[in-house]
Amino acid sequence: MPRFYFYAGLSAAAYLLKTLAYRNNNNLVVHLHTPVLVIVVIAAKLLGARFHLVTTQHNNWATFRSHQKVCLSIAAYLSKGYVACGREIQASLPSFTKKLAHKGGRLHSVPNGIPASFLRDYANKRFALKSNANERQEGMRTIVVARMAPQKNCFHLLHLISRIPELGEVTWYGDGPLREQIEKERDRLGLRYRVTFAGVVSREIVYNALTEHDFYLTVSLWEGLSVADLEAVAIGCIPLMSDIPQRREIAEAVGLDLLPADDLDAWRRQIERYRSMTHHERAHLSAQLVGACT
């Protein structure tokens, strides 16, 4: 399906929505992901555009700024469907906004979920690799899959890596606005030869990397749908994840221990527990994670 991108001001964007709605016999569905863009929706409706609005809230209510919260409340009133990415995010809605979104059964929650059956081949590949590994091979490898943005707590992540050499070599997939600052901090911490930035790659490359690495590491401050977290678990890569509300649904489902972001000893204990296992025990642990996802 072809994709078209438009860069336009408020009035032009509103007029574009009106035109698209007219061409689609007023059956156009507009999916709102960024709260402030509700202004465009309002402007288009004032021009007489008729379309169906669906709003998706990706993050916990508390993470939004005041003007974004106002925009989300307006969107909740205008939307035909208001979708929260997970139960924790729906629970975070204030009563007023929840009441607006609930009207007419328009409030929905998307459960954290991925096509685990699709990832089963990668999980089997990882099981075979780890089961046949040399028992004397001690070097650990860690993977990070995260956008280089404030939400992902990138600088704390680097400091954690610098203070826990047991994480071994780290490959970071992703890019973002903090890339330059993160590179400088990596070099300042003496991690140039331990942390490799792999940039944005296809999901298949990430899946294959998850089969080869020991740990999946994330210390994000909040999440929407924790897709990368779920993919790591479904493939059996051992997750080391910060304790945030959006992850507790995952942790409960698969029996994971989430870790306080600032408790260095807790992270070390979790890593040492894995390092003390034989390769067969590690493979069995991965298999348990995979089994819990099905």
- Report the CATH number at residue 143: 3.40.50.2000
Percent of the chain with pLDDT over 90: 56
Report whether 17 contacts 40 (CB < 8 A): yes
77 and 219 share one domain: no
In the predicted structure, residue 175 carries a pLDDT above the cut 80: yes
142 and 59 share one domain: no
192 and 276 share one domain: yes
Identify whether 187 is part of a domain. Answer: yes
Identify whether 59 is part of a domain. Answer: yes
130 and 180 share one domain: yes
130 and 211 share one domain: yes
Residues 6+ apart with CB under 8 A from 85: 56, 57, 58, 59, 109, 110, 224, 225
Residues 6+ apart with CB under 8 A from 294: 116, 117, 120
Measure CA 151 to chain center.
Answer: 10
Domain that includes residue 103, residue range: 10-109
152 and 276 share one domain: yes
128 and 263 share one domain: yes
Beta strands, E only, 153-261: 169-173, 195-199, 215-218, 238-241
Main-chain phi, psi angles of 12, to 5 degrees: -65, -40
Q: What is the distance between the alpha carbons of residues 256 and 98, in angstroms, rounded to a whole number?
A: 30
90 and 128 share one domain: no
pLDDT at 134: 59
Identify whether 153 is part of a domain. Answer: yes
Q: Please give the model's pTM, rounded to 2 decimal places.
A: 0.74
**pLDDT tier at 2, thresholds 50, 70, 90:** low
Half-sphere exposure of 70 (CA within 13 A, CB side): 5
The total domain count for the chain is 2
pLDDT at 26: 87
135 and 232 share one domain: yes
